[in-house]
Structure 1
Amino acid sequence: MKLAVRATIALLLAFAPVSADAQSGEKGVLGVASDDPEMAAAIEQARASLDDFLILSEAPPSGTATFKLKVRIEDGTATEHFWIIPFHRTASGFAGILANEPQAVHNVVAGQEIEFTRDEISDWGYTKNGHQVGSFTVCVMLKKMSKEDADYLRDNYGFDC
């Protein structure tokens, strides 16, 4: 697999049911400006549909798997978004395992269990019969990467966007 594709996968995925440790050796961040209008719309779409996703994740229907949340983590002036797999509700919000190796922030590590609030959630996703559902921010990122890398992710991870 090309290094550029592997780097892209490290940030985006955690789509396949692998452990956070399995991804920790991967490097690469696809940067998107904090004021990017497409990304802001994707985050808003994810947040608007979050309640329905959370209900579904509590009793997953047949054919669904890999329910995940994407969470914003800040460290000083650096901000990075990570997939959390698996996740669960807590008395004060949510907790789960950080599924990606940090590149910009240094206050967390891949495989670490973190706690977070609803306000820090930027996306959600799961697979249904081999196709991605949700993952709105990933669909934006697919537009910003090379056609080859985007096609690889679509072909191998079930994106229809």
Structure 2
Amino acid sequence: MATARLALILACASVAGAIAPSPALAQSTVRYIGAEDPAMNAAEQRAISELDAFFRHLAVPAADETEFMIKFDLSRGGADGDVEFIWGLVRQRSGTRTEVTLANEPVNPDYVVGQVVTVEDRWIDDWSYWKGDTLQGAYTVRVLLDQMPREQAAALRRDYGW
């Protein structure tokens, strides 16, 4: 039996200066993706392969680079095999751990939007930041666009500068 992945699209709450929600999405936009989905797996692998570059930008951002976020497994490999991927606004980084503020409303009732959690690098599956008016990274979000109604996907592409 394939496990399910819960993917929260980058529809963030207004969390202490975090990016505002895209008007194209409801705040609790959630998609369930099979663990075997090849496009999602490729997107995650790309994001992971570029994670060091993301952290270099985070450490020394250009003047137009802001609102650094990571998407990670909130369940940390839950016992039931299901995972919940969620976005967090980066607060600080130390070694291989990143402190974030949860930017989506979690499905897991043990967490709330705005809560601060520490994330190990091995739990990260995507990242994003704004460079001017264009969202960088967010490779898993790009995959999810193909599963949305055309108008909603077009609005997101416009909002994110894609």
In the superposition, the TM-score normalised over structure 2's length comes to 0.80
User: Gaps spanning 5+ residues in structure 1: where?
Assistant: 1-9
Q: 1:52 aligned to 2:53?
A: yes
* Superposition pairs of residues 97-136 of structure 1, within 5 angstroms: 97-103=101-107, 105-136=108-139
Answer yes or no: is the 8 Å Cα contact 1:11–1:28 preserved in 2. yes
What is the distance in 2 between the residues matched to 1:51 and 1:92? 11
SS state of the match for residue 32, structure 2? Answer: coil
Percent identity at matched positions?
A: 31
Counterpart of 2:150 in structure 1 is 147
How far off its partner does 1:155 sit?
1.5
Counterpart of 2:5 in structure 1 is none
Q: Deviations over 1:10-44 (max 9, x none)?
A: 73233x9x316987x93331221121111111111
Counterpart of 2:15 in structure 1 is 19
* Superposition pairs of residues 31-50 of structure 1, within 5 angstroms: 31-50=32-51
SS state of the match for residue 87, structure 2? Answer: strand
Answer yes or no: is the 8 Å Cα contact 1:132–1:157 preserved in 2. yes
Q: 1:92 to 1:58 in 2, by over 3 A?
A: closer
How far off its partner does 1:157 sit?
2.5
What is the distance in 1 between the residues matched to 2:59 and 2:95? 16
User: Gaps spanning 5+ residues in structure 2: where?
Assistant: 1-7
Please provide the CA RMSD for this pair. 2.3
In the superposition, the TM-score normalised over structure 1's length comes to 0.80
Answer yes or no: is the 8 Å Cα contact 1:63–1:129 preserved in 2. yes
Aligned residues: 146
SS state of the match for residue 28, structure 2? Answer: coil
What is the distance in 2 between the residues matched to 1:41 and 1:28? 22
